[in-house]
Structure 1
Amino acid sequence: MRLEVILPIFIPLIAGTLSVVVWRSTFYQRWIAVLGTAALLASGLWLLSAVRAEGHVVMQMGNWQAPFGITIVADTLSAVMAVLTGLMGLVVAIYSLGSIPASHERFGYYPLMHLLLAGVAGSFLTGDLFNLYVWFEVMLLASFALLTLGGERAQMEGAIKYVTLNLFSSAIFLSSIGLMYGMVGTLNMADIADKLSEVEHTGMVNVLAVMFMVAFGIKAAAFPLFFWLPASYHTPRVAVSALFAGLLTKVGIYALYRMFTLIFNGDVAYTHTILLWSAGFTMVTGVLGAAAQFEFRRILAFHSVSQIGYMILGLALYTPLALIGGLFYVIHHSLVKTCLFLISGLVYRLTGTYELKELGEVYRHRPGIAILFLIAALSLAGIPPLSGFFAKFIIVRAGLEIGAYTLTGIALAVGLLTLFSMIKIWAEVFWKAAPEGMDMERLKAPVNDSHGRFMLTGIGILIAGILLLGFWGQPVIELFEVMAEQLMNPEGYIEAVLGGEQ
């Protein structure tokens, strides 16, 4: 039994169960959250170490050999995403200690957070399409409940839009699974990849590819069905928004990378051209939506859509360098966008509003917070030598190498518009004179209480990650080179799964 590959799923399930057991004690729930997510991060690092040593780590549940049983499998991509899940969970758990009100804690915030993390980890580590669907539904259940905690009108409206479109995605996904099983007689992803090349009706394979593309594209918030994200991400508590921004859309991106490198790689000219233009439209619509907003979290939500386009572009270009850039962008974006959402929550604590027109002079009174924002914002915009620059540079270089000049130009233009949005937030929130009616006494009040320290600790961890990824990125790039090689040559994955437990 390979504990390292199953622990990232079991740990949040156990932590969530313990949180329910101590339901009456928010004190114990808080520290179970911190210790549980720290253990999740440690298990992810253990798994990554094992994958680095062995290439793939496979576990067949109940000793039923693939493709007949449930397979849990990790390659370098899965292991890195498991580490990311633990890191985002730990940061948000620490931040939540200072930002989540007792009313939310009493109604199950921490058990729901653990359930969400279990769904995310399960999605990254399953080797079976139906179980991927199951983990998607676990995430949907937990995320919908987290969105509605508090019961405010805006939350309910955002949650309805969120769940409606995601249920539509789930219906397409389940239909695709049924058609896939009817075509090849298996749902094990490695076995599907092995048998799909023998299918005579290539037109039906392409139809299935588009169906999966739509289902996962909705989960990832790709064009054209992305509007659930900016309609919902600004409505819950900012810790919830940050957790969603760091992880939820990344599961859709992961599924696209897995399916369109492992399974649907036979007609790249057709499938990846669709992905290419979807990436371009996603970048443009997201950044234009952000430019029109004047609410802190809405701007960040629209930019989440825009940045998803870069990740899809890395997959669509489908070269080793492009895959490196796209997946590097996933890690960079998770750190940066989670950090920006958490900073928006800290600004709200100091000022009582997210509206840019009602803010000002934060730099004068809180220069440290302003500098933290500036680091994250410039990284998102792709200013060197921060992580966003290297993520964009690799993707742009990959595009130029294969002559994708139009999409490369779009990526560069979107980067400039992203910088415009970040400058807008800086000018409105941190630099301009405080507008009339702004509560300056609240802004000047100290934040060195326990709540403020927890919030700053979570932000500080992410800022350190952003700086490390920018200034010490070579080891990460080398890791991603291995990842890209495994994705471009999926025979190793197939052999590891179908060859039995390693």
Structure 2
Amino acid sequence: MAATPSTPVDLSLAFVLTPPPLGNWLVILPPVLMITLGAVLMMMRHATRLHGLVAVPGLAALVVLDALLLWKVAVEGPITMVMGRWLPPFGIAFTVDVFGALLALVSAMAALAAGIAALSDISETGRRYGFFPFLMLLMAGVSGAFLTGDLFNLYVWFEVLLISSFGLLILGSEREQIDGALKYAVLNLLGTTFFLIAVGYTYAIFGTLNMADLAVRAREMSGAPLMTLAGLFLLAFAMKAAAFPVNFWLPASYHTPRITVSALFGGLLTKVGIYALMRVMIMLFPVQHEAWSFVIGVVAFLTMVLASLGMLAQNDLRQLAGYAVILGIGNMLAGIATGTVSGLAGAVLYALHSILAMTALYLAVGRAAALSGQFTLSSLGGLYQRAPGFAFVSLALMLAVAGLPPFSGLWPKIMLVKASIDIGAWWLAAGILVSGFLSTVALGRVFLIAYWRPAPAQAEGKMPAAAAGPDRPGGSAGWLSFGPLVGLTVIITLFGLFPEAPMSLSQTAAIGLMEPAAYIGSVFPAGGRP
């Protein structure tokens, strides 16, 4: 029997038929590079002394790739790569706009600084436990989360960074680390569970998880299910970002690992939660975000004020730094609560500042402990006399964290205060200012006690304690730990003195979130959706 002629199939409805431009491959290269290096380092498990020589150049390459990606996106607009040539919503898409590229670049810069510091801070035992492979996988998860255009794929990258962070947190298997890891694991796994439930609920409602597709479909729907869905996402990402009242896990766990690991966590992980919250609430569910905005504002206010009080109450410098991380989350939530372009731009700008400043703050805490052998404020003193250059860098860093001129923390706070006043939320602006004042007092207290007053041993007429060695608190006090701290502080200072470019990019990122037509157009260039 003769075969029936088949009906021609229009493959353009389901497949990308033209090869992508060469520059578009930049979208997927950062996570691919990090996963590849992680695998290479695992194969080099019997040559751990060489891990740093592979990992640090790899992180430098990541910075270059992310810088090229940001330049391309800033010039050409959002770009998309799809897996297996399948068009969304059938295939998984990697879609990058200025918002994602900005955070990916600054995160890579912080990771490079931490990687260099790890050369002196992480002992041979820590390397055998897999510090550098875990670091590569952590950055794969962070990069993938910032660059993906699919909601389930975002969940997958969350899992990648979460699993690698568990390994980094218990590096050394000390009792204190296991205790901190337990608190970290329980709360983060709970948040991940809420995230997965929300993803499943989203697919049940819309039949798609592509973010560009969701951004269109969500604007065509309304009703209670979307309010519940937005609430689930808000809860999940608030737990990831360590917002009040689910923030107690952070100061209970971030002080337990090696200081380089704490620097990575403080600089990067909570910002992934903030990124996801902004991407989902602002771009995908703008109507529901408006309904939830007052709740977000109250959470932001309580997060800021309680975190600043926590900074005042701490004697352990690592826990003080943990509360400084939470304070920054409150400021970013304040910008999200305003729902305006200026408020969101302030939140993006604050995220860029916080990634660099929190990484540097933990590195400064580690160097202070390396010079004195102590993390407790009551036991510190005389650091200015012992290391005047380090004291100067620390003062600049503390001014930046407090949001004082002429450093990077000033400009986002100005933008956030103005945005809060513009919408009539005077109480939110007051929360930003009061918490900023309290954090200034807390950091000023640290500088006066730890740096300015004489060391307790000197006051008793005794010689000061010897500097900590590689396996004591804070690791090495040499240039491998001081160089990254100086580099980050220089960037923070330049950020504050010349804020025009970061502010302009943050403004572009905020507009892209509120008006995602270009983002949607990069995924569906023909203007149609299946």
TM-score bucket (shorter structure):
over 0.9
- 2:302 aligned partner: 281
Gap change, CA 1:169 and 1:224, over 3 Å in 2: same
Secondary structure (helix, strand or coil) at the match of 1:186 reads: coil
Give the superposition deviation at 1:269. 3.3
Give the superposition deviation at 1:341. 0.4
Q: Which of 494, 508, 526 is residue 468 of structure 1 equivalent to?
A: 494
Tell me how far apart the structure 2 counterparts of residues 54 and 16 of structure 1 sit (CA, whole Å): 31
- 2:174 aligned partner: 152
Tell me how far apart the structure 1 counterparts of residues 271 and 187 of structure 2 sit (CA, whole Å): 17
Give the superposition deviation at 1:498. 2.5
Tell me how far apart the structure 1 counterparts of residues 214 and 468 of structure 2 sit (CA, whole Å): 60
Give the conservation status (yes or no) of the 8 Å contact 1:56–1:493.
Answer: yes
- 2:401 aligned partner: 380
Give the conservation status (yes or no) of the 8 Å contact 1:65–1:500.
Answer: no
Give the superposition deviation at 1:443. 5.0
Give 1:160-239 correspondences, 5 Å limit. Answer: 160-200=182-222, 202-239=223-260
Task: Give per-residue Cα distances to partners, 1:258-304, cap 9 Å, x unaligned.
Answer: 01111110144312222111111111121111211111111010111
Give 1:262-277 correspondences, 5 Å limit. Answer: 262-277=283-298
Give the conservation status (yes or no) of the 8 Å contact 1:146–1:240.
Answer: yes
Give the superposition deviation at 1:27. 2.8
Give 1:277-316 correspondences, 5 Å limit. Answer: 277-316=298-337
Tell me how far apart the structure 2 counterparts of residues 111 and 393 of structure 1 sit (CA, whole Å): 40
- 2:149 aligned partner: 127
Give the superposition deviation at 1:402. 1.7
Give the superposition deviation at 1:51. 0.2
Give the superposition deviation at 1:432. 1.4
Tell me how far apart the structure 2 counterparts of residues 113 and 68 of structure 1 sit (CA, whole Å): 32
Give the conservation status (yes or no) of the 8 Å contact 1:356–1:428.
Answer: yes
Give 1:169's aligned amino acid: G
Give the superposition deviation at 1:450. 8.8
User: Alignment length, in residue pairs?
Assistant: 497
Gap change, CA 1:204 and 1:439, over 3 Å in 2: farther
Tell me how far apart the structure 1 counterparts of residues 130 and 477 of structure 2 sit (CA, whole Å): 20
TM-score scaled by structure 1?
0.96
Secondary structure (helix, strand or coil) at the match of 1:379 reads: helix
Tell me how far apart the structure 2 counterparts of residues 35 and 230 of structure 1 sit (CA, whole Å): 32
Tell me how far apart the structure 1 counterparts of residues 245 and 31 of structure 2 sit (CA, whole Å): 32
Q: Which of 57, 61, 66 is residue 39 of structure 1 equivalent to?
A: 61
Give 1:305's aligned amino acid: I
Give the conservation status (yes or no) of the 8 Å contact 2:372–2:465.
Answer: no
Task: Give per-residue Cα distances to partners, 1:37-87, cap 9 Å, x unaligned.
Answer: 001100000101110121111001110001110100100001111101210
Runs of 4+ in 1 over 6 A off after TM superposition: none
Q: Which of 415, 418, 421 is residue 442 of structure 2 equivalent to?
A: 421
Give the conservation status (yes or no) of the 8 Å contact 1:361–1:433.
Answer: yes
Tell me how far apart the structure 2 counterparts of residues 237 and 450 of structure 1 sit (CA, whole Å): 12
Tell me how far apart the structure 1 counterparts of residues 265 and 216 of structure 2 sit (CA, whole Å): 34
Give 2:405's aligned amino acid: P
Range that drifts further, 293-302 or 20-29? 20-29
- 1:317 aligned partner: 338
Give the superposition deviation at 1:242. 0.2
Tell me how far apart the structure 1 counterparts of residues 146 and 160 of structure 2 sit (CA, whole Å): 13
- 1:332 aligned partner: 353
Range that drifts further, 480-489 or 325-334? 480-489
Whether 2:460 is the aligned partner of 1:455: answer no
Q: Which of 119, 123, 129 is residue 101 of structure 1 equivalent to?
A: 123
- 2:270 aligned partner: 249
Larger radius of gyration: 2
Whether 2:492 is the aligned partner of 1:492: answer no
Give the conservation status (yes or no) of the 8 Å contact 1:123–1:251.
Answer: yes
Tell me how far apart the structure 2 counterparts of residues 178 and 338 of structure 1 sit (CA, whole Å): 34
- 1:14 aligned partner: 36
Q: Which of 98, 101, 104 is residue 79 of structure 1 equivalent to?
A: 101
Task: Give per-residue Cα distances to partners, 1:371-406, cap 9 Å, x unaligned.
Answer: 111001011111111111112111111111221101
Tell me how far apart the structure 2 counterparts of residues 419 and 36 of structure 1 sit (CA, whole Å): 37
Give the conservation status (yes or no) of the 8 Å contact 1:146–1:236.
Answer: yes
Which runs of 5 or more residues in structure 1 are unaligned? none
Give the superposition deviation at 1:439. 5.7
Give 2:36's aligned amino acid: I
Task: Give per-residue Cα distances to partners, 1:288-338, cap 9 Å, x unaligned.
Answer: 112111111110101111110001111111111111111110111111111
Tell me how far apart the structure 2 counterparts of residues 300 and 199 of structure 1 sit (CA, whole Å): 43
Q: Which of 442, 446, 466 is residue 442 of structure 1 equivalent to?
A: 466
Tell me how far apart the structure 1 counterparts of residues 178 and 125 of structure 2 sit (CA, whole Å): 17
Q: Which of 21, 24, 36 is residue 46 of structure 2 equivalent to?
A: 24
Gap change, CA 1:353 and 1:500, over 3 Å in 2: farther
Tell me how far apart the structure 1 counterparts of residues 279 and 290 of structure 2 sit (CA, whole Å): 18
Give the conservation status (yes or no) of the 8 Å contact 1:85–1:247.
Answer: yes
Tell me how far apart the structure 2 counterparts of residues 176 and 444 of structure 1 sit (CA, whole Å): 47
Range that drifts further, 344-353 or 19-28? 19-28
Secondary structure (helix, strand or coil) at the match of 2:41 reads: helix
Gap change, CA 1:226 and 1:439, over 3 Å in 2: farther
Give the conservation status (yes or no) of the 8 Å contact 2:100–2:146.
Answer: yes
Give the superposition deviation at 1:475. 1.5
Give 1:113's aligned amino acid: L
Task: Give per-residue Cα distances to partners, 1:393-421, cap 9 Å, x unaligned.
Answer: 11111111221101101110000000011
Give the superposition deviation at 1:477. 1.1
Gap change, CA 1:361 and 1:270, over 3 Å in 2: same
- 1:365 aligned partner: 386
Give 2:207's aligned amino acid: G
Task: Give per-residue Cα distances to partners, 1:15-49, cap 9 Å, x unaligned.
Answer: 11111121111232111111110011000001011
Range that drifts further, 480-489 or 301-310? 480-489
Gap change, CA 1:356 and 1:222, over 3 Å in 2: same
Give 1:349-364 correspondences, 5 Å limit. Answer: 349-364=370-385
Give the conservation status (yes or no) of the 8 Å contact 1:351–1:439.
Answer: no
Give the superposition deviation at 1:115. 0.4
Percent of pairs identical after alignment? 39
Give the conservation status (yes or no) of the 8 Å contact 1:66–1:500.
Answer: no
Which runs of 5 or more residues in structure 2 are unaligned? 1-19, 470-474
Give the superposition deviation at 1:500. 6.9
Q: Which of 159, 182, 192 is residue 137 of structure 1 equivalent to?
A: 159
